[in-house]
Amino acid sequence: MFGDLVSKLKLAQEDSKNRMEQILVDGQADNGNVKVVANANKVIKQIYISEELFNLGDKEAIEELTLVAVNKALEKAEAIYNEEMKGMAKDVMPTIPGINF
């Protein structure tokens, strides 16, 4: 019984990881002058900095805005990831009275 449950869990986890690779979220700062794209596995896929902002040459501002955008993207990715894990646990785990996922 437990061996079957473990193999089911591993399969569900791999399937979930593959789905998470395809889900993209973004975080923006300074009205979109900095945009970061991440997948739901919390991997940064792209960073965009507008020419306008880049040409200002304010390194500290660019770094700060990039951090803001990265954190926003990762927050969104984390929320999606947590929902996926909750759903996976509900689908794979047996129903046990008093335990809700």
Query: How much of the chain, in percent, has pLDDT values that exceed 70?
Result: 84
* Alpha-carbon torsion, ordered 88, 90, 5, 82, to 10 deg: 40
Domains of the chain: 19-91 (3.30.1310.10)
Is the pTM here over 0.75, yes or no?
A: yes
Residue 8: which pLDDT band, with cuts at 50, 70 and 90?
confident
pLDDT digits (tens, 9 = 90+) for 52-68: 999 999 999 999 999 99
Query: How much of the chain, in percent, has pLDDT values that exceed 90?
Result: 62
Residue 94 is inside which H or E element, if any? Answer: none
Is residue 24 classed as helix, strand or coil in its secondary structure? Answer: strand
Is residue 93 classed as helix, strand or coil in its secondary structure? Answer: coil
